[in-house]
């Protein structure tokens, strides 16, 4: 008899604008990265799964098993991922979503989107402590979204005919620590968060008007604010500087920060390819190009 295998998939994400300020109720805009995926396989095992409550994968699997009233079932879980971990690309949310889908598939149970999102955010609490819900929402979306914590989200059309270069500094980001750092600044963080919130509005206006200069300029200003807030890193600052010097319309760190990825806005594919090559020469360990 062939053994049942449960399969779940999820894609990654990148934040265009609004990391950190989204935690405090300002709007954020994020994009799904549909070609950068996690796949999870679940099958039966002769041993009970060891649950490590500090690990988002374990937490996601356990949350799914508990939801299905199958916490005592013996299963094994394997992850295959193209999403680099701890780089602000939503690896923890994508792993959680893929794992939850795989557990439900293994037990032939249907899974509603709201239940999936609640379970994924339970796992995100382990990775992020106080997640805004932006990462899980974007990893569950097929289109770019505008997201406001506790209010909801709307889909955004992104027909800018431009390209976004994503470059990995190679340094692990530390979302939990970065979120705690901002929280510990207390009211000193407020002016930065407020300006980041306004820049998210500017970028939304720029996207609606298809004005790449507005979008790019606001991205670079957001990087400045995030750096002042203390959540960027020397490596991200360096790659942002390289992108700006190479003529990108704008560039910023993306995600929780203290490492992770930067993004840069380019007018077209040719410019994006040239910039990606330059960023790799200057130390980026990987680059991706997304059409916007």
Binding of ligand MEV at residue 20 (CB under 6 A)?
yes
134 touching ligand MEV, by CB under 6 A: yes
Could you write out the three-class secondary structure of the chain? CCCCEEEEEEEEEEEEECCCHHHHCCCEEEEEEEEEEEEEEEEECCCCCCCCCCCHHHHHHHHHHHHCCCCCCCEEEEEEECCCCCCCCCHHHHHHHHHHHHHHHHCCCCCCHHHHHHHHHHHHHHHHCCCCCHHHHHHCCCCEEEEECCCEEEEECCCCCCEEEEEECCCCCCHHHHHHHHHHCHHHHHHHHHHHHHHHHHHHHHHHCCCHHHHHHHHHHHHHHHHHHCCCCHHHHHHHHHHHHCCCCEEEEECCCCCCEEEEEECCHHHHHHHHHHHHHCCCCEEEEEEC
Q: Shortest gap between Cβ of 18 and ligand MEV (angstroms)?
A: 7
Stretch of residues binding ligand MEV (CB under 6 A), selected from 19-27, 45-53, 111-119, 150-158:
19-27
Q: Which of 14, 16, 17, 23 binds ligand MEV (CB under 6 A)?
A: 23
**Which of 12, 59, 132, 220 is the binder for ligand MEV (CB under 6 A)?**
132
Q: Among residues 22, 123, 193, 262, which is the contact residue for ligand MEV, using CB under 6 A?
A: 22
What is the total count of residues that contact ligand MEV (CB under 6 A)?
15
Q: Is 256 in the site for ligand MEV (CB under 6 A)?
A: yes
Which stretch in 45-53, 55-63, 129-137, 193-201 sits in contact with ligand MEV by CB under 6 A? 129-137
**CA 221, 20, 176: angle at the middle one, nearest 5?**
135
Q: How far is the CB of 226 from ligand MEV (least distance, A)?
A: 10
Task: Give the one residue of 8, 32, 56, 131 binding ligand MEV; rule: CB under 6 A.
Answer: 131
262: number of Cβ within 10 Å: 33
By the rule CB under 6 A, 116 interacts with ligand MEV: no
Instruction: Check residue 88 for interaction with ligand MEV (CB under 6 A).
Output: yes
What tokens were used for 32?
A: 């799904």
Q: Pick between residue 28 and residue 103 the one whose CB is nearest to ligand MEV.
A: 28
**Which stretch in 17-25, 62-70, 107-115, 241-249 sits in contact with ligand MEV by CB under 6 A?**
17-25
Footprint (CB under 6 A) of ligand MEV, residues 172-191: 175, 179
Using CB under 6 A as the binding rule, whether residue 128 contacts ligand MEV is answered as yes
Verify binding: residue 135, ligand MEV, rule CB under 6 A: yes
Site residues (vs ligand MEV, CB under 6 A): 15, 19-20, 22-23, 88, 128, 131-132, 134-135, 175, 179, 255-256
């Amino acid at each position: 008899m062939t053994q049942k295998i449960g399969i779940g998939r999820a894609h990654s994400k990148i934040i265009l604008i609004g990391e950190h300020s989204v935690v405090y109720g300002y709007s954020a805009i994020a994009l799904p990265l549909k070609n950068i995926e996690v796949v999870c396989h679940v099958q039966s095992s002769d041993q009970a799964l060891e649950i490590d409550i500090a690990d988002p994968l374990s937490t996601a699997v356990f949350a799914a098993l508990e939801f299905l009233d199958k916490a005592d079932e013996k299963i094994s879980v394997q992850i295959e991922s193209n999403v680099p971990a701890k780089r602000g690309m939503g690896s923890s949310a994508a792993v959680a979503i893929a794992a939850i889908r795989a557990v439900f598939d293994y037990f032939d149970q249907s899974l509603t989107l709201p239940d999936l999102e609640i379970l994924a955010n339970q796992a995100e609490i382990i990775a992020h402590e106080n997640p805004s819900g932006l990462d899980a929402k974007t990893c569950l979306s097929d289109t770019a979204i505008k997201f406001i914590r506790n209010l909801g989200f709307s889909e955004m059309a992104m027909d800018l005919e431009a390209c976004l270069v994503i470059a990995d500094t190679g340094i692990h980001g530390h979302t939990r620590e970065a979120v705690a750092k901002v929280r510990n600044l207390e009211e000193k963080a407020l002016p930065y968060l407020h300006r980041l919130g306004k820049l998210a509005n500017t970028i939304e206006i720029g996207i609606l008007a298809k004005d790449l200069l507005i979008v790019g300029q606001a991205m670079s200003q957001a990087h400045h604010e995030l750096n002042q807030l203390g959540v960027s890193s020397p490596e991200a600052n360096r790659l942002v500087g390289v992108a700006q010097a190479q003529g990108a319309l704008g560039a910023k760190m993306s995600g929780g920060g203290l490492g992770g990825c930067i993004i840069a806005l380019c007018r077209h594919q040719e410019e994006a390819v040239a910039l990606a090559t330059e960023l790799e020469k200057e130390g980026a360990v990987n680059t991706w190009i997304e059409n916007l």
